[in-house]
Amino acid sequence: MEYPINSDFRTALRLILAFEDETLTGYEKQVILLNELYQKQHGNMQRALEQANAFLNGGKVNIESDGGPRLYSFSKDADFIFAAFRQTHGIDLQKAEMHWWEFLALFMDLGSETTFSSLIGLRRRVKNGTASKEERQAAREMGDIFDIPEPDTRSLDEKEREAEFMKLVQGR
């Protein structure tokens, strides 16, 4: 059975931001996902999560990760993404009404002349080792703007064990 989904791009972005939030547990992220995305209670939670995943992936059920480095963050790069949408498509995201899939299509087509696209290109070259000496220096000078941390995929149990270990090491 299919359940109606809140398809607004802002909802999807809030969900992605929640999943980028390292302070939330996996369970908390799932609760946020279900509460934000579905307009009424879903009977089959596993099916709801599968349907939500497919929706957030643009309707594709099984997306294979390319295993490459993370090149952008919706939270960290928000200002650059907003500017790129305006520059490339003439869309003010603060005023736009748009389906998530339309947002994704436009996001994938952001112009190469935007600061966001230039930043992504630089991150890609630095992370795959093809950046020039000057580009690597520019990346270092950008500091926090350039750095995109890889998501922490450890379980809550693993994080707690590491915290306990660090307490022992530090003598607390």
Outline where 66-111 has alpha helix (H).
Answer: 78-89, 100-107
Amino acid 47: pLDDT:
84
Which pair of tokens denotes residue 6? 């809140």
pLDDT at residue 63 greater than cutoff 60: no
**pLDDT 10s digits, 76-118:** 999 999 999 999 999 999 999 999 999 999 999 999 999 999 9
18-40 mean pLDDT = 87
Q: Which residues of 59-94 are buried (b: 16+ CB within 10 A; e: fewer)?
A: eeeeeeeeeeeeebbeebbeebbebbbebbeebebe
Is the model's pTM score more than 0.75?
A: yes
